[in-house]
């Protein structure tokens, strides 16, 4: 018999996965931090199992976020973002892509504010060049 759970379980589990990946943590490391098996973490992340309040508190501590973070934007993932952000991100969930997470982790290690600002300007300029090249190719 298939067990049908509320979609909220999958959304909270996805937030657990998002934060774990952002921190560069494996499922096993997270499981060890909260006293579970990595298989149980997998079940939480894919929404197969519901996360109770005590476990959510442990997860929030291990992932260094407040418990309410797991519920901050839980709606339909397409409608929860502003239209301009959805257009920038495209249809896929770019925040879950490994290269995006790698870029975010590397960026967060840069302590010098001026270097961070210059990097943002560089990435924006490259993005604008890509758009201009695509427009020229389409014309």
Retrieve residue 46's tokens. Answer: 């894919």
Print the domain residue range for 55. 1-80
pLDDT digits (tens, 9 = 90+) for 109-133: 888 999 989 998 998 899 888 888 8
How many other C-beta atoms lie within 10 A of the C-beta of residue 69? 14
Same domain, 70 and 116: no
Same domain, 59 and 15: yes
CATH number of the domain at 56, please.
1.10.260.40
Domain membership flag for residue 123:
yes
Residue 74 has what pLDDT?
66
Same domain, 68 and 106: no
- The total number of structural domains in the chain stands at 2
pLDDT digits (tens, 9 = 90+) for 62-107: 999 999 988 887 654 444 444 444 444 444 455 556 777 778 888 8
CA distance linking residue 69 with residue 81, whole number of Å: 16
Retrieve residue 125's tokens. Answer: 């300029």
Same domain, 6 and 73: yes
Domain membership flag for residue 13:
yes
Domain membership flag for residue 87:
no
């Amino acid at each position: 018999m298939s067990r049908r759970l509320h979609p909220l379980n999958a959304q909270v589990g996805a937030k657990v996965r998002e934060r774990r990946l952002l921190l560069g943590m494996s499922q096993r490391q997270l499981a060890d931090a909260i006293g579970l098996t990595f298989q149980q973490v997998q079940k939480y992340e894919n929404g197969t199992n519901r996360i109770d309040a005590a476990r959510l508190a442990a997860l929030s501590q291990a992932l260094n976020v407040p418990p309410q973070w797991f519920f901050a934007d839980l709606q339909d993932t397409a409608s929860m973002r502003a239209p301009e952000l959805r257009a920038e991100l495209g249809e896929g969930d770019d925040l879950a892509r490994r290269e995006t997470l790698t870029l975010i982790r590397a960026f967060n290690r840069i302590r010098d504010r001026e270097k961070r600002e210059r990097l943002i300007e560089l990435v924006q300029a490259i993005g604008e060049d890509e758009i201009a090249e695509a427009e020229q190719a389409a014309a």
